Amino acid sequence: MTRAAATSLGRRERNKLRVREGLYKSALRLFAEQGYDGTSIDDIAEDADVARATFFNHFQRKEDLISEWGRHRQAELAASLEELPGPGPEGEQPGAAARLEHCMTVLGRLNEGEREVTVAMLTAWVRAGRPLTERPYLAEIFTRIVETGTARGELATVLPAHQVGDLLHDLYLGTLIRWVQDPAPAEEGLLAARLRSVLATLLEGLSPR
C-alpha cells in the first residue's frame, strides 16, 4: 500500500496496517535467521510484541505469509520496472530487449538485496506446492513485453507470446534456484549477470534475421 493510501485511512485502520506490517517484518527476519520451518507463530508474535491471537487477526495460518511475500515482491518489481529510461533523443521508446534486460537486472537486484530472505521464502514457496497452483505473474509481464516487441518487429518467434513468456519465467526461476543452491558467498551482481546472460542467449534466437 502506498503512503498516500495509508494516510487516507482512519486511525484504527492505520493501526491494523502497522500491526500487520510488523508481523510480516518480524516473520521475514526470523525466517532469514532460523528458517521457515524453524519459526513458529509464537516466535513471530513474540518478536512483533503482540499476542498470539493477534497474529490470527491478520493471517489465518503461517503459510499466508508466503502469499504476503509474493505480493510485496510483485509490488517492488512493478515499482522498479518504472525506472526504465524514457524515450531516446528522437522519441523512440525502449525496445523489447532493453525492457527484458532491465527486468532481469531488477529481479537480480531484489533477490541479491535480501539473499537470506529469498532462500527461506523460495524454499517455503516450493514446499507449499505454489509452483503447481499459482500462475506466475512474471510470465505475464514477460508475455506483454514479448507481444509488444513482436508487434514492432523487434522479435521474431514462431511461438505464441505466452509460451515465450513462460520460457523466460522458467529461465529466471532455474537461474534463481541454482544461485540459491550455490554454497559460495554471494558475489555482488552475480545473479543479475547470470540472468542477463541467459536472456541474451534466448534473444539471439528471437532476433529478426
Tens digit of each residue's pLDDT (9 = 90 or more) over 43-71: 999 999 999 999 999 999 999 999 999 99
Is residue 163 predicted with pLDDT exceeding 60?
yes
Rounded to the nearest 10 degrees, the angle between the axes of helix 64-81 and helix 11-34 is 100
Rounded Cα gap, residues 1 and 75, in angstroms: 9
Instruction: Name the residue among 180, 174, 165, 181 with its Cα closest to residue 195.
Output: 174
Rounded Cα gap, residues 105 and 53, in angstroms: 41
Q: Please report the pLDDT score of residue 27 as a whole number.
A: 97
Chain-centroid distance of CA 47 in Å reads 25
Whether the Cβ atoms of residue 145 and residue 93 lie closer than 8 Å to each other: no
Cα separation values, 15 from 21, 54, 162, Å: 10, 12, 42
Q: Which tens digits make up the pLDDT trace of 105-147?
A: 999 999 999 999 999 999 999 999 998 988 889 999 999 999 9
Q: Please report the pLDDT score of residue 186 as a whole number.
A: 63
- Mean pLDDT in residue range 28-49: 96
Q: Which tens digits make up the pLDDT trace of 85-98?
A: 655 555 567 889 99
- In the chain the domains, ranked by start, together with CATH numbers, are 9-62 (1.10.10.60), 64-84+95-209 (1.10.357.10)
DSSP track, 17-52: HHHHHHHHHHHHHHHHHH-STT--HHHHHHHTTS-H
Q: Please report the pLDDT score of residue 185 as a whole number.
A: 60
Is residue 166 predicted with pLDDT exceeding 90?
yes
Rounded Cα gap, residues 199 and 172, in angstroms: 9
pTM above 0.95, yes or no: no
DSSP 88: -
Rounded Cα gap, residues 148 and 174, in angstroms: 25
Q: Please report the pLDDT score of residue 199 as a whole number.
A: 94
Instruction: Name the residue among 24, 51, 36 with its Cα closest to residue 130.
Output: 36
For the chain, helix, strand, coil in percent to 5 are 70, 0, 30
Phi, psi of 15 (to 5 degrees): -65, -40
DSSP 183: -
Instruction: Name the residue among 44, 59, 34 with its Cα closest to residue 123.
Output: 34
Q: Please report the pLDDT score of residue 85 as a whole number.
A: 61
Helix (H) or strand (E) holding 137: helix 137-151
Sign, CA dihedral 153-158-161-164, equals negative
Q: Specify whether the backbone of 141 is left (phi greater than 0), alpha (psi in -120 to 50) or beta.
A: alpha
